[in-house]
Amino acid sequence: MVEGRWPTAVQCVARVGPKTCGGCVAVWHVGGRDEIEWVCAACGANGVITGFTGSESDLSRYRPRGKGKLRLWGYEDEERDVLWEATRAIPELRAVIARATPHDEYPGVFVLHATVAELDDVYTLVEELTDRTRSRRRRDLLDGLRATLCTAMDGF
């Protein structure tokens, strides 16, 4: 179990006027393993989630194990949205994307520490998405993801 509060890439679903907030939430364990408290950094909405452990949303069983060296990889909001949607039915990859945290100094940028094997799996997914994409704009976005993944895996 992680101690203390940590920022996440999970987006706030609170309503701010006619729109959904979309800010990033911070989470921490309270009252035992099965309660998670959260607060949105943008709008201040907050709450407690119960019954999380062992649920479909609990991706902790996919966290990296062993002593493999973690590499740093960063990506932006729009890229995160593409990866989040693409991993909807792939929990082991969704867990990787979900571990990203917002960058402290650069709004809209997420930072992820992952193993080379995890980054390679994401790279394979991005290649598959590229093969199925006809949109030039989306293809450019995916090509950018592949380039940054290569850099992260190579350790530059």
Query: pLDDT digits over 7-40, tens only?
Result: 887 888 898 889 999 888 888 877 666 788 899 9
> What is the number of alpha carbons within 13 Å of residue 147 lying toward its C-beta?
6
68 secondary structure, DSSP code: P
Which H helix or E strand runs over 113? strand 109-115
Q: Residue 66: its pLDDT value, please?
A: 57
Binned at pLDDT 50, 70 and 90, residue 51 comes out as: confident
67 has pLDDT over 60: no
Exposure b/e, 67-80, CB count within 10 A at least 16 = b: eeeebebebbbebb
pTM comes to 0.72
